Chains A and B, each alone.
Chain A
């Protein structure tokens, strides 16, 4: 018993951290309908600023607390609501998820930019002095750290449970989450309720961060990943509904972790493997077992039909003349690009564009699984990594040519994706996203490190390429080969999309019930598209490896998986153009950023930029690129068709689909939408 307590009690601070974050996740989900990936980042932000104020500016603790928690945190929450989440209709679950992920990627990236990078971190405690031992349980000392953790968690849990269950505000928040419109009909100011919900949940994040800062003071990147998985696992077991269960499971995970660490023999491979997998096991068990997680986020807003229907893709509706012009434009651009690369392009930029080819292929895999498959997969970088590492290992150990190795790698990635798909057959939406991120984190912590150099440096690839001189940095062989591979992948994606598989997937996106009722085998289609997406990602991973002549686990970690999804979805996930623009945009912007002074954060800034892209995305969930395309295409059509000529038939042109050609500015000005939709100029029609 003594030993048990001796091992268990030190787990309390970790357990309470997990519990607090889990409670925060559940609360945010209940109060705002958003699974806020960035909750941890918000907590970290407040804690960081609190520490900064106390240690660098020497403020009294209470003042620093008020500034960093009571003021800053809710203000951040209000800003998030106003500029981001308010624009997303209740029913667009994907947009909410992606925006949450964007913040997760963007906020930590923002910190070095604003504050410069400083590695101090010894946060002061708010409640009890961490080093004082207050009492003993058995022989184990129970110090201030443990006490703070427990007391803080208990207080917060009680307060929030009371809020959501017993107050009118909690009731209003839950109603607004389901339907902001419906609750307005009851006379409730939905906008204000949701704003308050964000403020409260952000306040909680700040509080969690500061209260638990001493316990988690030296958070390394690895620990942060564990924190995430553990918090997700606890939230999952709570079905994103019950605050007490989330807290309980969080504490259990923390305590079980240290228990295992104590009981297992110290240095065996077993122990490190088991330890790092415990939170995963808990999370995956929840995703597989708990029925309530399968349809998470499915409750629909009964008044969603008031939103204007999502417009069909521009490409589908362009007038044929405009279509031709645009296609010609693309070919000209492509030809110019190829010629330039083969002749005058400076080496730096050639490398950049080569990387762009690789990323475009990886992004195409996102177009496949998310754009066509309709499912959010947060492990595409991982799948690329599987392809890359497989090829690299085969090249280094078996002397296999990279071409062959790449194919094997692609198949391996496809296989991993298929396994994932089969494991997640019953999951949709948020549940599936969590499963994929669990997979990503798993590979990051357990598999990729085993395949890399032990010191974590990039594994160089000594490879042979039969025939072509592909690894020769002075030649253009990679560019040519890479371009061909990209073109082949693009062709494959387009063919799949316009073929039967694409049609089936489109039907499944529209209504799984009806699709199954037509005789479409949903399981097979899902596994198929996951598999294809995995294969394409694997190919992209190998390309990246060849281009960099090394493979590094860093390039394929979960942060990249998340960032990739954000980038592609923001640009436009349902078109091939979107993927390619995103791929090249990504590398070009990264390169441009290197010309900025290092003070500004270097290449994490690219994440910040795309995070700000989220603001655009929230207003245009079909993708910023798609939106701009539509605008410009309509302008072109107006120019070409002049005023007054109606297009030949409905569906014959973009303008035709939108209410008559040309015409002129609307009489009476724009549509003043009051709830959720954005104002648009209305044609006289």
Chain B
């Protein structure tokens, strides 16, 4: 039952198709909750596209739809020209995508080596496994040291390394990295982004989903900004920062995935911010005040 059909038909970069990924008018939902509304963007072959936006904007949803973990309700998705809309996730993976999902992307109950074996055997076939393992341990020595440890005992950074090792050794056409820097220390994020650069250097296109915008915009050529499940900006990476600022300040509502459009709760809007702060201060003063509280310097408001 171990179908050894995992290898990509052609190594990345040698395709005729100029676009690694085309997302065309895609919408998606989680059960009854709408999450994406008519999203369209592309990722050029061998290029890097950043997908950014605030919390709940739908970024993870896009990455799940692209790799097949979640079905789209409308629209089409094409991978290097091939229509992959509606395909089950494993077929999309075999067609040449890799996904580093949000959170823990490794098997906790399998050892590091078993995690790697699983994907190497599937994508490369039995004869490649030993060689692939060697290359993975060379690129990430930490994994070599921990090869007998279960995936669940690795730290967050080490788990990301493990996910990247899978991709580095057998480069796909497209790598979708979902909040890969979440919860990592700065020095680890550096290492992770180095890994991404290497993978991109080998010809893989990247779709990098991030909340922290600075690093990813550094790496990316194009950017997509999502807000409330729709595209707010689509274009070059250097123009994205300004767009993000604009979106943030224009936001009067704090809507998340799951609440319905049109029933958006009203949150604090910027013009009333001072008012809110004062109200809060009054609330606080009514509360218990410990004897050791330091006096508050007047006028020290947050912007």
- Which A residues fall within an 8 A CB radius of B? 168-169, 171-172, 174-175, 177-179, 181-193, 196, 299, 302-303, 305-309, 311, 646, 649-650, 656, 658-660, 666-675, 677, 680, 682-683, 685
Contact = CB atoms under 8 A, between A and B. Distances in A.
Interface in B5-33: 6, 27-33
Contact of A650 (B28, B104, B259): B259
14 contacts: A175-B107, A184-B93, A185-B67, A188-B90, A191-B88, A309-B31, A309-B33, A658-B32, A659-B33, A659-B34, A660-B261, A666-B73, A671-B71, A677-B31
B228 interface: no
A186 B73 contact: no
B110 interface: yes
A308 B108 CA distance: 23
Interface residues of B, number: 55
B101 A185 contact: yes
B262 interface: yes
A304 to B, nearest CB: 10
B15 to A, nearest CB: 19
Across chains A and B, which 6 residue pairs bring their CB atoms closest together, nearest first? A308-B31, A184-B89, A187-B93, A186-B119, A184-B90, A302-B104
A675 B117 CA distance: 24
Contacts of B258: 309
Contacts of A671: 28-29, 31, 71, 73
Contacts of A175: 107, 110, 118
A187 B109 contact: no
B2 interface: yes
B263 A174 contact: no
B261 to A, nearest CB: 6
Nearest to B108: A299
B292 to A, nearest CB: 24
B61 to A, nearest CB: 9
B135 interface: no
Contacts of A682: 29, 32, 34, 73
A303 B101 contact: yes
B260 interface: yes
A171 B107 CA distance: 11
Contacts of B86: 672, 674
Given A646-B263, A650-B260, A659-B32, 20 more contacts: A168-B2, A171-B110, A172-B2, A182-B101, A182-B107, A184-B68, A184-B69, A185-B90, A186-B123, A302-B105, A306-B69, A308-B31, A309-B33, A309-B258, A671-B29, A674-B87, A675-B68, A680-B31, A682-B32, A685-B262
A178 B99 contact: no
B175 to A, nearest CB: 11
B9 to A, nearest CB: 13
A187 B68 contact: no
A671 B279 CA distance: 44
Nearest to B259: A650
A387 B114 CA distance: 52
Interface of A is mostly: loop
B59 interface: no
A186 B265 contact: no
A169 B2 contact: yes
B101 A302 contact: yes
Nearest to A684: B34
Nearest to A677: B31
B151 to A, nearest CB: 9
Nearest to B263: A650
Q: Pick the most buried of A172, A186, A305: most chain B CB atoms within 10 A of its CB.
A: A186
A184 B68 CA distance: 9
Contacts of B73: 666, 668-672, 682
A188 B89 CA distance: 9
B187 interface: no
A197 to B, nearest CB: 10
A184 B122 contact: no
Nearest to B176: A185
A302 B110 CA distance: 14
Q: Which of A192, A671, A683 has the largest count of B CB atoms less than 10 A from its CB?
A: A671
Given A659-B34, A685-B261, A186 B122 contact: yes
Interface string B221-240: 00000000000000000000
Interface in B246-266: 258-263, 265
Contact of B90 (A179, A189, A302, A303): A189
Contacts of B114: 171, 174
Contacts of A179: 107
B31 A186 contact: no
Given A185-B98, A187-B123, A302-B105, A685 B34 contact: yes
A674 B89 contact: yes
Contacts of B110: 171, 174-175, 178
Contacts of B117: 168, 171
Given A174-B109, A309-B31, A675-B88, A181 B69 contact: yes
Nearest to B102: A305
Contacts of B260: 650, 656, 659-660, 685
B201 interface: no
Contacts of B64: 306
Contacts of A172: 1-2, 118
Contacts of B69: 181, 184-185, 303, 306, 675
Contacts of B261: 660, 685
